[in-house]
Amino acid sequence: MPGSAGRAPAKRAPVRPAPPRPPRENPLRRLHTQARRAWDRPLTAYYVILGSSLLITVLGLVMVYSASMIKALQLSLPASYFFRKQFVAAMIGGLLLLIAARMPVKLHRALAYPMLAGSVFLMVLVQIPGIGMAVNGNQNWISLGGPFQLQPSEFGKLALVLWAADLLARKQDKRLLTQWKHMLVPLVPVAFLLLGLIMLGGDMGTAIILTAILFGLLWLAGAPTRLFAGVLGIAAVIGLILIRTSPNRMARLACIGATEPGPGDQCWQAVHGIYALASGGLFGSGLGASVEKWGQLPEAHTDFIFAVTGEELGLAGTLSVIALFAALGYAGIRVAGRTEDPFVRYAAGGVTTWITAQAVVNVGAVLGLLPIAGVPLPLFSYGGSALLPTMFAVGLLIAFAREEPAARAALAMRQPVFGRKRAAVRGSESGRGPRRWNTMRRRATARPSGER
């Protein structure tokens, strides 16, 4: 071509290989990493305890209304009779939860001895004729007038947790827990005193939960295996004697895994609880559509409310309830494991042991895996005497979760918007800085003139 003579041919730039793509991360591993990061945040335990306990309580109110309607009508009462009483108890319990969550740890420790003394006094009153009253064969109630009754043994659980936590914390500060005498005395004698007062009324279920709390506290205190096994052996022997000497308890033990009512219908309640769960299927028959609550299932709104939940909400509903209790228990373990305060560790561990052990005993009895112990499902079953101390105990966990240094700092950063505006106004008036409003527009940093 003309004009192209003597011109060197153009050289092409060498083609560079594309950089290797990073390997794709496993979605499950990524989800696990994100979940661990979310769980490690300072306020996670605080929100999990608050959210799970409130969800359990609200769902429990719904199921109490559904499960107790027929029982109320059979007693010629309004259909919402039991629900209204439970709702009032939940409102009072919510106030107790708020008070406990706002109380400092020192005040909780100061309440330990008065609460223990008051619980023992009320348990003694239960055994006095004319003051105590029997319900379902158990002499564990005090009449407050009208339809209101009080079960002091429920408050004994909370009293034992607070008193034992204060006792063990003081002994740990003095380095006395390395001696077995100081670890057992006076913790075990006082616990046995409470157990004796409870067993005088025949309430084996509450005694089991109180024993679980005692063993949980001993385990947290670092009891050696021989000592732990010795106390466990003594408790097992006493429990075996109490069961063998009671035909009612022997009948309950014989109903584990029963599929037929048996002679004299001794396993009627256990079998119909299984029937209710089996008829619920995956998603249940619908809220309010239970058949077993029409007189076939005794104590449908108290000890066996989990069976009605399975019948009306199905497997999805029962697994949701179990998941909420698992989240509450796991968050309580985290609070107990991350604190440096021995009182907080023992109290949080005791409350977590109490709620989880009681939930396991109740659900296990409904499923036919454990003997029927007659204990309610915490925060869920009908009963104000059980609901009030349990909600106060949940408030303890919330207070302890707020006391973590990282959680306290995170909560301090989350002041109300109005409060930050007022603080900024006071700062500007005192000459400490210009007035700044808390809006996204005003928070932009100032630019020099002419910059766009």
pLDDT tens track, the chain, 452 positions: 555 555 666 566 666 676 776 667 678 787 777 777 777 788 899 999 999 999 999 999 999 999 999 999 999 999 999 999 999 999 999 999 999 999 999 999 999 999 999 999 999 999 888 888 887 777 888 887 777 788 999 999 999 999 999 999 999 999 998 888 888 889 999 999 999 999 888 888 999 999 999 999 999 998 888 887 887 788 888 888 888 888 878 888 888 888 888 888 889 999 999 999 999 999 999 999 999 999 889 999 999 999 999 999 999 999 999 999 999 999 999 999 989 999 999 999 999 999 999 999 999 999 999 999 889 999 999 999 999 999 999 999 999 998 887 778 887 787 655 455 554 445 444 444 444 434 333 333 444 444 43
Residue 413 burial class via C-beta count within 10 angstroms: exposed 0-12, middle 13-18, buried 19 and up: exposed
Residue 441 confidence (pLDDT): 35
By C-alpha distance, which of 130, 123, 180, 110 is closest to 155?
Answer: 123
> Max Cα separation, the chain?
128
Residue 245 confidence (pLDDT): 81
Residue 6 confidence (pLDDT): 57
The amino acid present at 216, given as its one-letter code, is G
By C-alpha distance, which of 182, 181, 127, 194 is closest to 154?
Answer: 194
Interatomic CA distance for residues 46 and 39, integer angstroms:
11
Residue 440 confidence (pLDDT): 34
Residue 124 confidence (pLDDT): 93
Residue with the two structure tokens 């913790």: 187
Question: Residues 273, 377: contact at Cβ < 8 Å?
Answer: no
Count the alpha carbons within 13 Å of 325 in the hemisphere toward its beta carbon. 23
Instruction: Give one DSSP letter per residue of 71-137, joined into a string.
Output: HHHHTT--TTHHHHHHHHHHHHHHHHHHHHHHS-HHHHHHTHHHHHHHHHHHHHHHTSBTTEEEETT
Interatomic CA distance for residues 329 and 324, integer angstroms:
9
Residue 416 confidence (pLDDT): 59
For the chain, how far is it from start to end, CA to CA, in angstroms? 54
CA-to-CA separations, 376 to 8, 82, 103, in angstroms, rounded: 95, 15, 27
Which of left, alpha, beta for 383 (phi over 0: left; psi -120 to 50: alpha)? left
Residue 214 confidence (pLDDT): 93
Residue 148 confidence (pLDDT): 77
Residue 365 confidence (pLDDT): 95
Residue 226 confidence (pLDDT): 84
Residue 435 confidence (pLDDT): 43
Partners of 135 in the beta sheet?
Answer: 138
